[in-house]
Chains A and B, each alone.
Chain A
Amino acid sequence: MSDTAGNAPVLAADGTPLKKALDAALFRNRLRAFLLVSPLLLFLLITFIIPIGMFLLSGFHDPVFSKIMPKTTQVLGEWDSTSEPTEAMYEALVADLVVARKEKTIGRAATRVNRELSGTRSLFTGTARKAAKLEAPFKEAMIGVKKNWADPEVWKAMKVSSRAWTLSYLANALDYKQLADGSFEAQPESRQIHVPLLLKTLWISLQVTIYCLLLGYPIAYLMSNLPARSSNLLMILVLLPFWTSILVRTTAWIAMLQSQGVLNDLFVFFGITDDGSRYSLIYNKLGTLIAMTHILLPFMVLPLYSVMRGIPPSYVRAAKSMGATNWTTFWRIYAPQTVPGIGAGAILVFIVAIGYYITPALVGGQDGQMISNVIAFHMKSSLNWSLAAALGGVLLLVVMTLYWVYDRIVGIDNMKLG
Chain B
Amino acid sequence: MSLPIYAGWGERLWYYTFRAICALIFLFLIIPIIVVIPLSFNVEPYFSFTSGMLSFDPDAYSLRWYKDIFTNGMKNPEATTGWWADAWNNSQWLRSMRNSFFIGFCATIISTSIGTLAAVGLARSEMPWKNQIMALLISPMIVPLVITAAGAFKAFSMLNLAYTFTGIILAHAVLGTPFVIITVTATLVGFDQSLVRAAQSMGATPLRTFFKVQMPLIMPGVISGALFAFITSFDEVVVVIQMAAAEQRTIPRQMFSGIREQISPTILAVATILVLISIALLATLEMIRRRSEKLRGLSPS
Contacts and interface: CB of A to CB of B under 8 A. Distances in A.
A372 B150 CA distance: 11
Contacts of A415: 138, 182
Interface string B196-231: 000000000000000000000000000010001001
Contacts of B234: 245
Given A33-B121, A250-B259, A355 B28 contact: no
A240 B301 CA distance: 19
Interface stretch (A7-15, A50-58, A108-116): A50-58
A37 B133 contact: yes
B161 to A, nearest CB: 10
Nearest to B255: A247
Interface stretch (A124-132, A150-158, A231-239): A231-239
Given A30-B126, A48-B174, A248-B275, A237 B144 contact: no
B149 to A, nearest CB: 8
B90 interface: no
A51 B155 contact: yes
Per DSSP, chain A at the interface is helix
Scoring B48, B231, B241 by chain A CB atoms within 10 A of each residue's CB, the highest score goes to B48
A35 B121 contact: yes
Given A37-B118, A412-B135, A243 B278 contact: yes
Contact of A218 (B25, B32, B182, B282): B25
Interface stretch (B61-69, B70-78, B80-88, B266-274): B266-274
Q: Which of A30, A245, A249 has the most CB of B within 10 A?
A: A245
B126 A37 contact: no
A171 interface: no
B247 interface: no
A417 B148 CA distance: 22
B21 interface: yes
B147 A238 contact: no
Chain B interface helix/strand/loop/mixed: helix
Contacts of A416: 182, 186
Nearest to A241: B29
A362 B30 contact: no
B127 A255 contact: no
A108 to B, nearest CB: 17
Contacts of B267: 251
B135 A392 contact: no
A53 B144 CA distance: 14
A236 B279 CA distance: 9
Contact of B35 (A43, A262, A389, A418): A262
Contact of A240 (B46, B144, B279): B279
A1 interface: no
B39 A255 contact: yes
A392 B36 contact: no
Contact of B115 (A40, A47, A225, A326): A40
12 contacts: A36-B121, A37-B117, A48-B139, A51-B152, A244-B274, A252-B271, A254-B259, A260-B46, A385-B150, A395-B146, A412-B131, A418-B224
- The 4 A-B pairs of least Cβ separation, nearest first, read A355-B144, A36-B121, A51-B155, A51-B151
Interface of B: 1, 11, 14, 18-19, 21-22, 25-26, 28-33, 35-36, 39, 46-49, 110, 114-115, 117-118, 120-122, 124, 126-128, 131, 133-140, 142-148, 150-156, 170-171, 173-174, 177, 179, 182-183, 185-186, 224, 228, 231, 234-235, 237-238, 241-242, 251-252, 255-256, 259-260, 263, 267-268, 271, 274-275, 278-279, 281-282, 285-286, 301
